[in-house]
Structure 1
Amino acid sequence: MSAALDAWLARLERQHPVAIELGLERVATVATRLGLSERPLAGQVVTVAGTNGKGSTVALLERLAACHGLSTACYTSPHLLRYNERLRLDGQPAEDALLVEGFERVEAARLAGEAVSLTYFEAGTLAALWAIAERQPQLAILEVGLGGRLDAVNVIDPDIAVITTIAHDHADFLGDDLDGIGFEKAGILRPARPAVLGSRQLPASVSARLGALAAPAYWLGQAFAPQDQGGSWQWQGSDAQGARYELDSLPDPGLPLDNAAVALQVLTLLGITPQLEAVREALATVALPGRLQWLDNWCLDVAHNPHAAAYVAERLAARPRPTRRIGLLGVLGDKDAGALIAALGPAVDAWVAVGLDGPRGRSAAALGESIEAAGASLLASCDSPAAGVAWLRERLGADEEVLVCGSFLTVAGALEALTAAAV
C-alpha cells in the first residue's frame, strides 16, 4: 500500500466521531455534489444485501459475468489484507492511485458548501462509486455493508436487488427481531424492479415490501433452484420473459450452491443467456478468500454468526475426519460466542482462543471462558490471531487440521501470518 493511500485511510478513520452511523442524508448530499445522480453508475447495477452469502453471491456473479464477456466492477466490504480488495475492476483490485483520487474527489465534494461529516465506510463507498462511474462498466455489483435501507450503498438505485439470507447479526444496529431485520434488508428494493430472493424462507416484512413496490420476485425454490446430481449439480431458472433454462453437470464452485443459483438467476435477468461452457468455466475458477479457503491443512472462513457457522460445520462434516481438528477462534465482543461455539462444535475437537483488539474487541481470556462454559476443550488462549497461528504451528501434527473462524479480523490476522510464514 502506498504512503498516500495509507495516509488517507488513517485520516478517514479519525475524521468522524463514530465508526458506524446509519443514514443516507449525509451520503446523498455528497453523492449529489459528486455528480453521481447525473449519470448512470454502469450499464446495469445489482445490489446485494443479506445476513450471510453476500460475498459469495457477488464473487459468483462477477465471475459469471466476466466469463460471458461483460466488463465488471464490484464493491464489497470489509477487506482481508488490503483495502484495495474492496473495489475490483474486471476482477482486479483497484490501484492505489485510483482510490486516492476517489478520496480526494469525495473530500472536495463534502467541503463544497456546508461541510458534511462522513464515516470511514461512507467515504470509502462514495469514492468507490465515483471510480465505478468513471469506468462505466457494463455491470456494477454492490454489496451492502450493514442492513440495507440506511446503508451508504443504498444511495444508488439498482436494476436488480438481491437478498440472500436473513438471520440474527449486528443486533446493536439491526435489533433481534427478524421481521425488523427483514424490513431493513428490503430497503434496497425498488418499485417494479426485479428482486432475487436467495432463501426459501424470509420474514413477512420482505414479502410485504415486495408487494407494496410491485417488484417482480424470483424466489429460490420457486423461480429457480439448484439440484444435486451426485458429484455435480443442475441449475433451473427463468429469464424476465418467463423462458426456462436448465444447465446440467455443473462443477461445485466451493461456495454455497444456493448462492451460485442466485447468481445464475441474476445473470438471466440481466438479459444474458447463460452459456453452458462459460458457466462451467466460471464455477470452476471462482475464488473468494476467507470462505472455506484451504492453505494446506488450514481452513479459513469468516463465519461470525450461528447461521454461517452451521454451514461451515456441514461442509467440514462432508470431508474425511482428520485425527484432530482444532478451531482457532476469535470473536468480536458484540457477537454471540456461545452460539458460534455450539454451531461449530460438531466439526471441532479442541479450541485455541485468540483476542481481537479495538472498541468491539473481545479478549482471549473472555473467549476462553465461553469455550470452557460450553464444555469444550480449550488448548490455549493467545493475544492475537497471529499469536494463535504461531502457537499452533509449533504443535500441529501432519494429520491434524485447523479451522480459523469467528470474524473477518480473525481470518485476516491468521491469513497474514500464514502467508508471511510461507514466504
Structure 2
Amino acid sequence: MSSKTSAKSADDESPMPEAPSSPALSLDAWLARLERQHPVSIDLGLERVARVGRRLGLLDTPVATRLITVAGTNGKGSTVAMLEALARAHGLSTATYTSPHLLRYNERLRLDGQEADDTTLVRGFERVEAARLSGEPVSLTYFEAGTLAALWIIAQRQPELAILEVGLGGRLDAVNILDADVGVVTTVAQDHAAFLGTDLENIGREKAGILRAGRPAVLGSSVLPASVRGVADALGARVYMLDEQFHRCEDADAWAWEGIDANGHPLHLKGLPDPGLPLDNAATALQALTLADVALDEMVCRKALAEVTLPGRMQWLSNWCLDVGHNPHAATYLAARLAERPCTGRRIGLLGMLADKDAEGVIDALAGSLDAWVAVGLDGERARGAEDLAATLESRGQRVLHRAASPAEGADWLASELREVDEALVCGSFFTVAEVLSWWKSRPQRREHDEIRNA
C-alpha cells in the first residue's frame, strides 16, 4: 500500500523551502505565536493547508509506508492508542498524531512510542513557517500549522505505519489532505454543533469524508448514520463494519475477535484481555491493522492490549477517575463502565464543561452513577462558569456540594471531603481533566500507591 496524497493542484512555488536562519524560538514561543497568527481558532477547509502542504512536498510522496486515518465523534483516541500499541508490539516503526493534548503539546506527536521532543517540533514549525511565507503568504490556524509540522516530521522518518487522528469533522479537517490506506470511522454523535450542526446524517457525511475510493473503510459501530455507509458505497470503498465483517465476543475473563483480511480470509483471536478501553474500539483497531497488511499474532495482541494506556480515559489515580468525555454518547459509556465497578462509599462528580457542550445530556447520562457533584468553572472564549453549571445540575435534580472557580480549586475542596471508601469522577472536558491531572502531579503529599492505571 502507499499513502498517496490528495488535494493536488498546480502550484508554481518551490517545494520544501529551507527553514529561516533567524534565531530559533522555543517550543512555547512557537505555540504562543501560532495562537496569534490566524483571526479564528477553527477555520475548516483544505485549500490553505493543502497549499502549504504542497510547498512542503507532502502531496508528492507518501509520508509513511502505510497510513491509517481515524475519524469519529468518540473513541478516536483509544482506537489510535490501541493501533499504536498493537503495531509496535508487532515490530513496526510508528508515528501517531493526535489532538488535543492534556499536559504537554509534545503528546500530540509520538514517534516509535515516544513523545516528540521540543527540538523536533520546533524544526517542524520552522519548516512550515518557511513554506507558509514562500510565495504568497498563507494564513494558518494553530491546528493547521501543528498538523503540517507533524506530517513533515513524519515524512522525514518514513515510518512503516503512520496513524492520524482527525481533529474535527473529517472532510475539511487538515489531516484529510492525505489519502489514507485505511480509513476508520469510530462513532457518530452530536458534538461541535457550531461547526458540524446537529443532524446526524450530515455529521456522518462529514466524518466519512476521510474515506477514499477503493480503499478499506473500517466502521467501528453498528449504529452509524446511513450517510456513512452511503459515502463509502459511492466511493467504491471496501466496507468492514462492526457486527458484520468483524465481531467481538465477551466472556467472564477475556474476549475474542473475529475478522477478515483484505483477501476475505477469516481471522480469529481468542483470550484477549480487557484493555480498559472500549472493546468496540479494540476490535476496530484489530480490523484496521490487518487491512494495513499486518499479520496479527494472537500472543502479541494479548500482550499489547494488556499493556496499552491512555491518559484521561477511565484513568484511575487511587480513588479518583479522570475521563475527558464531554458529550452524552461518551458519558453513557462512562456510566456503563462505572456500573461495573461497585463503590461502597459516595461517588462524587467534579464537572467542568465548555459553554457550547450539551451539559444537560452529559448530566442526565451520569445522574444515576453519582451521588453528588462539584461544579467548576473554565476559562477562555468558550467558558462556562461554575454558577451556570451548578444551576444546570440542580435543574436536572442533582445535588451540588460545592462551586469552584477552577478545576484545581474544586479538586482541592473535594480532596478534603473524600473518605477512603468514596470515589471522585473528574469529567466534562479535556481542560477539566488536564488541570486536575496537573494538580494531582503537583500535590505535596502523594501516597506511593497513587499510580496511573486503567480500570
Q: Does the CA contact (< 8 Å) of 2:343 and 2:422 recur in 1?
A: no
> Which residue of structure 2 aligns with residue 39 of structure 1?
61
> Which residue of structure 1 aligns with residue 184 of structure 2?
162
Cα offsets for 1:208-251 (capped at 9, x unmatched): 11111100000000111110021210001010001111111110
> Which residue of structure 2 aligns with residue 310 of structure 1?
332
> Which residue of structure 2 aligns with residue 58 of structure 1?
80
> Which residue of structure 2 aligns with residue 192 of structure 1?
214
Distance 2:122 2:334 in 1: 37
Letter in 1 for 2:226: A
> Which residue of structure 1 aligns with residue 94 of structure 2?
72
Query: Does residue 1:385 correspond to 2:407, yes or no?
Result: yes
Q: Percent identity?
A: 64
> Which residue of structure 1 aligns with residue 13 of structure 2?
none
Q: Does the CA contact (< 8 Å) of 2:68 and 2:183 recur in 1?
A: yes
Distance 1:268 1:335 in 2: 36
Query: Counterpart of 1:46 in 2: which secondary structure?
Result: strand
Letter in 1 for 2:362: L
Query: Counterpart of 2:163 in 1: which secondary structure?
Result: strand
1:412 is aligned, of 428, 434, 449, to: 434
Superposition pairs of residues 185-334 of structure 1, within 5 angstroms: 185-334=207-356
Distance 2:70 2:344 in 1: 36
Query: Does residue 1:4 correspond to 2:26, yes or no?
Result: yes
Instruction: Quote how far apart the aligned CAs of 1:64 are.
Output: 0.3
Letter in 1 for 2:276: G
Letter in 1 for 2:188: I
Letter in 2 for 1:404: V
Distance 1:293 1:131 in 2: 30
Query: Counterpart of 1:161 in 2: which secondary structure?
Result: strand
Instruction: Quote how far apart the aligned CAs of 1:62 are.
Output: 0.4
Cα offsets for 1:102-136 (capped at 9, x unmatched): 00000000000110000000000000000000011
Cα offsets for 1:309-360 (capped at 9, x unmatched): 0000000001112310000000000001111110011111100001010001
Cα offsets for 1:258-291 (capped at 9, x unmatched): 0000000011111112101100010000000000
Letter in 2 for 1:267: L
Instruction: Quote how far apart the aligned CAs of 1:3 are.
Output: 7.1
> Which residue of structure 2 aligns with residue 14 of structure 1?
36
1:117 is aligned, of 134, 139, 142, to: 139
2:375 is aligned, of 339, 353, 357, to: 353
Cα offsets for 1:366-417 (capped at 9, x unmatched): 0010011111110001011111111111111111000000000000000000
Distance 1:333 1:214 in 2: 40
Letter in 2 for 1:167: A
Between stretches 147-156 and 391-400, larger displacement belongs to 391-400
Query: Counterpart of 2:357 in 1: which secondary structure?
Result: coil
Distance 1:215 1:273 in 2: 22
Q: Does the CA contact (< 8 Å) of 1:356 and 1:409 recur in 2?
A: yes
Letter in 2 for 1:53: G
Distance 1:74 1:283 in 2: 17
Query: Counterpart of 1:211 in 2: which secondary structure?
Result: helix
Letter in 2 for 1:183: R
Q: Does the CA contact (< 8 Å) of 1:229 and 1:249 recur in 2?
A: no
Query: Counterpart of 1:327 in 2: which secondary structure?
Result: strand
Distance 2:414 2:41 in 1: 33
> Which residue of structure 2 aligns with residue 103 of structure 1?
125
Distance 2:59 2:95 in 1: 18
Cα offsets for 1:175-232 (capped at 9, x unmatched): 0000000110011010100000001021121121111110000000011111002121
Q: Does the CA contact (< 8 Å) of 1:23 and 1:151 recur in 2?
A: yes
TM (norm. structure 1) is 0.99
Distance 2:442 2:25 in 1: 21
Distance 1:11 1:104 in 2: 12
Superposition pairs of residues 146-185 of structure 1, within 5 angstroms: 146-185=168-207
Distance 2:251 2:260 in 1: 20
Q: Does the CA contact (< 8 Å) of 2:185 and 2:207 recur in 1?
A: yes
Distance 1:73 1:227 in 2: 30
> Which residue of structure 1 aligns with residue 17 of structure 2?
none
Distance 2:288 2:406 in 1: 40
Q: Does the CA contact (< 8 Å) of 1:46 and 1:161 recur in 2?
A: yes
Distance 1:274 1:339 in 2: 39
Letter in 1 for 2:288: V
Distance 1:210 1:101 in 2: 37
Matched pairs, number: 422
TM (norm. structure 2) is 0.92
> Which residue of structure 2 aligns with residue 129 of structure 1?
151
**Runs in 1 of length 4+ with deviation above 2 angstroms?**
none
Distance 1:110 1:43 in 2: 26
Distance 2:114 2:238 in 1: 33
Q: Does the CA contact (< 8 Å) of 1:71 and 1:139 recur in 2?
A: yes
Query: Counterpart of 2:442 in 1: which secondary structure?
Result: helix
Structure 2, unmatched stretches of 5+, are 1-23, 447-455
